[in-house]
Amino acid sequence: MGSWSDENAELLFDETIYPVCGPGFASKHRDATAESLADLPLLHVDWVPPDWAGWDEVLRRAGVPHGPTRGRSFGKFFVALQAARADQGVAVGWHRLVKAQIKEGKLVRLTDLELPAPGGYYLTW
């Protein structure tokens, strides 16, 4: 978040997050909207730092009403992305971490939902 006691911090760049899934899943759910995301199988990542945005935060910040979300949970982000590539559901994609897979066609963006990620990347000293 850029605030460390007794350290200087310089913002290097911000991050953007958006829903991603495999091409087959996207084809099957081509009419999906941001408002319908909570009804889809969502791929969750456990064991992440507090500034990592999960589905509850993404949907809340997007103003999408939702209750408990369905889907699977994974211990690592890259495993959730592999599940998304295998058409098992929708993951929260962090642009700098998924852009190459999107360019290669292994992942696709689902819906037009896009949010600034909490925090950013900093150089500290």
- Residue 63 in tokens: 């103003």
Whole-prediction pTM: 0.87
**Domains parsed from the chain with CATH numbers:** 9-124 (3.40.190.290)
Q: Which residues pair with 42 in a beta bridge?
A: 71, 90
Say if residues 42 and 90 touch (Cβ distance below 8 Å).
Answer: yes
Q: pLDDT tens across 42-65, in order? A: 999 987 776 778 899 999 999 998
**Beta strand spans in 5-95 (E):** 9-21, 42-45, 71-74, 90-94
Q: pLDDT tens across 2-36, in order? A: 677 888 888 888 899 999 999 999 999 999 999 99
